[in-house]
Amino acid sequence: MGLKMNTVTLTTAQAIVRYLAAQYTVIDGKEVRLFGGGFGIFGHGNVTCLGEALYDNRDALPLYRGQNEQGMGFAAAAYAKYHKRRRVMFCTASAGPGTANLLTSAALAHANRLPMLMLCGDAFMTRLPDPVLQQLEHFSNPTLGTNDAFKPVSRFWDRITHPAQIIQSLPAAIATMIDPADCGPAFIGLPQDVQGWTYDYPSSFFDKRVHRIRSQAPDVGEVADAIALLKSAKRPMIIAGGGVQYGDAVAELTAFAEATGIPVVETIAGRANMLDRHPLNIGPIGVTGSDSANTIAKEADVILAVGTRLQDFTTGSWTAFAHEAKIIGMNVGRHDAAKHMSLTVVGDAKLSLPALGLDHKAPDAWKARAQAERAKWTAYVADNVKPGNRPNSYAQAIGVVNALCDPRDRVVAAAGGLPAEVTANWRTLDIGTVDVEFGFSCMGYEIAGGWGARIAQAEGEPDADTIVFTGDGSYMLMNSDIYSSVLTGKKMIICVLDNGGFAVINKLQNNTGNESFNNLIADTPTAVNQIGVDFEAHARAMGAIAETVSNPAEMAEAFKRAKASDTTSVIVMNVDPYEGWTTEGHAWWEVGTPHITDNPKVAEAHKDWESTRPEQRKGV
């Protein structure tokens, strides 16, 4: 007879929480819990069973009460981004609309390759009480429900129909979330009855487990091909993406660039891979990039793309590079490494960059040309952020904060005009301090993401600040985590730059020949009562310190006061919706314009837009 297995009888919910609390990871040589805790809003679909289990484990897995499930997901994504995907938060939501609210944040995490675990209520497995509150009924498929909508926006998806299933499902979900190539959100649907069902779980299932993030070495054949191509280059360039930071390869990138003299440009996700003052940092590339980076990108003959998914804002919709340029795709993810017929090096940047060797040097003249272009761009930015004889602008606000913040302060922005303005004008003071969410370009991420980033930041850098740049449009969409930050004592400094609506889309509207319509409040025909929002009073109502300033000089003084305070501060300043945009540094961007129209301005804009299409690479 075999030995009898030691078991423990638990509900499904209790077993899930106990298992999560037993998972650890290693960061800087120290073991810490893989899950820093979670964000939760309870409803009838998760409070009675999962809520009971979380209460009993509230010290090991602190639960932050959200105000909106979408905001919880944004906060979880920002938390994971701060920790370079080495720590994770879970989100729990009730069946129905509570869970549905997480869809947008799941899509954001998926697009940005960020891990978070969603534990969401579901309909009853027995179906005895059907139809139940908040249940969607599909007449020909009783298994289909709201939670099935998460399948395309999750890297891992499961519905637990029996308590024993979590023995397989939870390890699989965690393996997905911490895998450098497959990293992304995991969704687990928890039917309300199954959450409370019991099972005799093996006691060993709850033993402490220490996870280590895999570091994948590249194939020697792929490395040899990449070396040969680099050695043939006359004008090589490196594109440094967000994967450089996630792969903990900043030192390797810098060492490789310095040894070879190859100029480096940064993607939006890769901002803060190098310090602003580094002589080989030629600036951000792409649609919201810099003249310096885009100039050398047009002339480069070999492009080493490291840790980037080559999104259209990086590639200028594939017009940023010469047709004959060759691309080496270095990425831990095969899907990203192989884009646009790249010569692939599938592997972790930390191991792959040193494997390329150091005996292929960029010509001195090419390096000097890149640095000369960067010097011109630096001068442009210095003038662009300087308050002067022009209206208040995003760039001026960014310049004020940049000049006064501490090197380890973290900057958060997303969607609208601010990602472009921060990317172009922010001068990186320290590595890994910029979070511009543009993988999904999601309005509403800013304040919620700032809260999640501050929770993470407070774990290791309590003296640093999280600084959020948001426009009035994003603020109106999602602002309730100002209250969350006050409740939890996680201070943020939030700069609300009010330009009277969705000004960057109005700019695109105008640039394509269209009249201003339904973007700026002033140009919305149905807005018959033109009332401005008192953002200061609104922020104060949620417990924040708030003030309104009239110009960049006043903003500087307000920012100093916010730095000195231990409470979330909101600084409001009006900026001009038409003047003051960063006008340089833009690559072409493909947008759909009308091929026929009665408006001559639209027709002319379409003709102008299409004139750049011949520069678009066709994938070879």
Report if residue 308 sits inside a domain: yes
Same domain, 361 and 431: no
d(CA 288, CA 294): 10
pLDDT value of position 2: 54
* Helix-helix angle 12-21:166-177, to 10 degrees: 40
- For 582-616, what is each residue's pLDDT tens digit? 999 999 999 999 999 999 999 999 999 999 899 99
pLDDT value of position 587: 94
Report if residue 138 sits inside a domain: yes
Q: With helix as H, strand as E and coil as C, how does 174-241 read?
A: HHHHCCCCCCCCEEEEEEHHHHHCEEEEEHHHHCCEEECCCCCCCCHHHHHHHHHHHHCCCCEEEEEC
Of 184, 211, 238, the residue at which a domain comes to its end is 211
Work out the pLDDT band at 358, boundaries 50, 70, 90. confident
pLDDT value of position 5: 79
Report if residue 50 sits inside a domain: yes
Report if residue 3 sits inside a domain: no
d(CA 610, CA 230): 34
Report if residue 582 sits inside a domain: no
d(CA 495, CA 425): 16
- For 497-522, what is each residue's pLDDT tens digit? 999 999 999 999 999 999 999 999 99
pLDDT value of position 3: 56
Residue labelled with tokens 């009480």: 129
pLDDT value of position 619: 65
d(CA 443, CA 607): 31
Average pLDDT over residues 141-168: 97
Domain boundaries, position 346: 220-378
Closest CA to 186 of 225, 208, 153, 164: 153
Same domain, 373 and 228: yes
Average pLDDT over residues 174-184: 97
d(CA 401, CA 575): 15
pLDDT value of position 359: 86
Work out the pLDDT band at 618, boundaries 50, 70, 90. confident
Same domain, 273 and 300: yes
pLDDT value of position 4: 66
pLDDT above 90 (res 390): no
Report if residue 430 sits inside a domain: yes
Domains held by the chain: number: 4
Same domain, 536 and 501: yes
- For 187-218, what is each residue's pLDDT tens digit? 999 999 999 999 999 999 999 999 999 899 99
Closest CA to 123 of 150, 143, 103: 143
Report if residue 580 sits inside a domain: no
d(CA 174, CA 65): 23
Strands (E), 394-463: 410-414, 434-437
Q: Output the six-digit token pair for 331.
A: 């990425």
Average pLDDT over residues 69-74: 98
Work out the pLDDT band at 408, boundaries 50, 70, 90. very high
Same domain, 227 and 344: yes
Same domain, 117 and 224: no
Q: How many CB atoms lie within 10 A of CB 254?
A: 21
- For 130-139, what is each residue's pLDDT tens digit? 998 888 888 9
pLDDT above 70 (res 104): yes
Same domain, 332 and 316: yes
Q: What are the contacts of 508-514 at 24+ separation with CB within 8 A?
A: 508/591, 511/605, 512/591, 512/593, 512/602, 512/605, 512/606, 512/609, 513/599, 513/601, 513/602, 513/603, 513/604, 513/605, 513/606, 514/599, 514/601, 514/602
DSSP 8-state assignment for residue 5: P
pLDDT above 90 (res 620): no
Same domain, 428 and 486: yes
- For 219-274, what is each residue's pLDDT tens digit? 999 999 999 999 999 999 999 999 999 999 999 999 999 999 999 999 999 999 99
Same domain, 51 and 105: yes
Residue 110 — φ and ψ, nearest 5°?
Answer: -65, -50
Same domain, 127 and 249: no
Of 336, 359, 378, the residue at which a domain comes to its end is 378
Residue 500 — φ and ψ, nearest 5°?
Answer: 80, 30
Report if residue 2 sits inside a domain: no
Of 182, 211, 240, the residue at which a domain comes to its end is 211
Q: How many CB atoms lie within 10 A of CB 387?
A: 17
Collapsing DSSP states into helix, strand and coil, what is residue 39?
A: strand
Question: What average pLDDT does the chain have?
Answer: 96
CATH number at residue 314: 3.40.50.1220
CATH number at residue 495: 3.40.50.970
pLDDT above 70 (res 1): no
Given a contact cutoff of 8 angstroms between Cβ atoms, the answer to whether 191 and 122 are in contact is yes
Same domain, 374 and 402: no
Same domain, 164 and 255: no
